[in-house]
Structure 1
């Protein structure tokens, strides 16, 4: 089932409120690109809330390197801020490795979504060896995570190739580009559609590229009850290890 995430901006301009769904089976990983002020963190929080609502039993793990956009999760299990972000990535990667070795369909059916916000700032802050190790783990999850029930969401200001292992960035089946990207970023992220990306976008507006479907101009919907959204996410936040015999599944 597709998750109704973003509004079709072209239809919205004609008075039609229609959602563009994202199906995890088809688009298991999402890259969200946007500079400060584009609404990137707001969109990521909305996506987490949608996953909590529509993906029964999914556990959420949130890594926020700058510890600003998701500071309201501080103190909850499954939230990792600043230097603890590496621990969060390791927790999920350990589960990824265990699932890869076990090949247990029941375990793989317990979905995990790992969000890393300000991923570029994280990688840039590290020395070469630990940075390469983070890129290796992220690359492996991108390549093999879907069949293991592990989904990756990355928030970044500029999706430069230096932040990913060779070819890893191409594994994002969904790319959300908020704000007004440079010609270089358009060429990097959506080369086949760069000439179509001519709109001047306000906060919360941009383009969604879905592998196999094409490019859509989108609007991030307004959240009427932010407190409820936060509670939904907090209730699904947890360490990534699966509970025994499915205990604790929502």
Structure 2
């Protein structure tokens, strides 16, 4: 997936994407751009706990029955995706062409994505029992999703440990930050390798930020430019995609 000139997300080599961004920094438009690209190569489930930017996508044919915005349905989305992942492993290991080390694409299977906006808002809505279940499911998908072709995209304002445990965060191999974050916020996103890096915020540059693979030095990033001034509409364009 091309993110900008010279910057790609190879979700098979670097599974799971973590996106951070302050209010008004361009995170939603970036997520819409990523969603538009991924919908052309696989299936995408969308979870929007704030019931705002992505709820309208439920009317788009490619996302029919794949948009969730209340707590119970979002938990069920994660449950069903873990079950789907386990069923894929059963399918692959019982395939006549099975060979250790092969992954989903070697069997002609397409990737599956779960895009979760405002993850922190979702986590904050859970009780203790629900929280434990969600973290267990998330752990399973993070650790086992790559080979079966199930990938997570979590977006939030900043990935505090209370919303995403450090051990889990370390397994998100692609990192993006747009808009304005605090120094501690950047460290949470990009890790100790970037502790001494000077992150700059340029006022008015919506969609600008930083990107890195986990464990690497972050580099400057610019989100795709979307021609809203020429009438571009994500909902309209996505509605044209074949199911």
CA contact (8 A) 2:43 2:112 kept: yes
Asked if 1:221 is matched to 2:224, the reply is: yes
Q: Distance in 2 between matches of 1:176 and 1:197?
A: 16
What CA distance in whole angstroms lies between the structure 2 residues aligned with 1:36 and 1:196?
23
TM-score, scaled to structure 1: 0.79
Question: Contact conserved, 2:20 with 2:189, CA < 8 A, in 1?
Answer: no
Write the distance in 2 (CA, Å) between the matches of 1:169 and 1:220.
22
SS in 1 for 2:39: helix
In the alignment, structure 1 residue 211 sits paired with structure 2 residue 211 = no
1:24-77 residue CA offsets vs partner (Å, 9 max, x unmatched) = 222221001112211112111111112234x3xx11111111110112213432
Give the C-alpha shift of residue 107 in structure 1. Answer: 6.4
Relative distance call for 1:78 and 1:108 in structure 2 (3 A) is: farther
Distance 1:166 1:108 in 2: 34
Q: Which runs of 4+ in 1 moved over 4 A?
A: 104-108, 231-236
Q: CA RMSD, aligned part only?
A: 2.3
Query: Is residue 100 of structure 1 aligned with residue 89 of structure 2?
Result: yes
Per-residue deviation at 1:212?
Answer: 6.0
Distance 2:145 2:108 in 1: 10
Question: SS in structure 1 opposite 2:162?
Answer: helix
Aligned residue pairs total: 221
Other structure's SS at 1:60 match: strand
Q: TM-score, normalised by structure 2?
A: 0.81
Q: Which runs of 5+ in 1 are unaligned?
A: 7-17, 237-247
Partner of residue 96, structure 2: none
By how many angstroms is 1:213 displaced?
Answer: 5.1
Distance 1:231 1:211 in 2: 35
Q: Spell out, residue by residue over 1:95-150, the C-alpha distance to the aligned partner (whole angstroms, 9 max, x if none).
A: 12222344355768221011011111101111111012111111211111010011
State the Cα deviation string for residues 209-236 of structure 1 (Å, max 9, x = none).
1136531111112222643x43554567
Cα distance in 2 for residues equivalent to 1:37 and 1:166: 26
Say whether residues 1:79 and 2:77 are aligned partners.
no
